[in-house]
Amino acid sequence: MEQNKLSKATLGRVPAYLGFINGLDKSIENVSATMIAKQLGLGEVQVRKDLGAISATGKPRVGYLRNELTARLEQLLEMQDGNTVIIGAGRLGKALLDYTGFESYGINILAAFDTKIEREETSKDGKLLLPMSRLSSFCREKGVKLGVIAVPDAAAQEVCNLLCESGVKAIWCFAPCRLYKPADVIIQYENMALSLAHLKMQIRSA
């Protein structure tokens, strides 16, 4: 099954599956959904469903060949096309830039760009902070395919245009707006205020 057909929840469990398998004794050649579910505290049916979607090589009462399943999980998290840039180096942008949790999902955030930056700087964790004038050349040089928009909504469309012109094919947008884009570009919108409001409503209805 192709990665883009896997559910977000399944993809979210991939690093845990891979971490568990890599921690097994090297003498273990086969792993099963039952083994993984028990050790990770997950439902066996869910793990079996996940592994079935990830790899079709499992066999009843045998499970999966460890090397084959490991290779498939690593393929899902490989660094290819994972190079990412952030536009907007305010508090949110800098927090995302220095967050190390993205690495577990094959996402390599290389730099943040901002109109207020006039020369190359670094974040507290040593990540690049660059002026907007370097965006296009940087993206093409590094093969960047993912972009994060962390600017006010008034500037978001212009930033989206620049990212698309620079070869970016997928955008994670934190600005509270809807963007025009080429047909081959994917946008994931993230409205934190709306998510928190939804959580508040769930409390009231519980």
Structure tokens at 55: 């790899």
| Of 24, 22, 48, 21, nearest in space to 34 by CA | 48
Q: Work out the number of other CB atoms within 10 angstroms of the CB of residue 125.
A: 10
Q: What angle do CA 101, 102, 105 make, to 5 degrees?
A: 110
Q: What pLDDT score does 206 carry?
A: 61
Averages of pLDDT over each 10 residues, the chain, 206 residues: 67 85 90 91 91 82 88 75 91 94 85 96 94 96 94 96 94 92 88 83 75
| Of 45, 135, 120, nearest in space to 85 by CA | 135
The CA-atom distances, in angstroms, between 112 and each of 64, 82, 128, 169, 200 are: 41, 15, 6, 17, 32
Ramachandran bin of 126, using left for φ above 0, alpha for ψ from -120 to 50, beta for the remaining angles: left
Q: What pLDDT score does 81 carry?
A: 63
Q: What pLDDT score does 1 carry?
A: 43
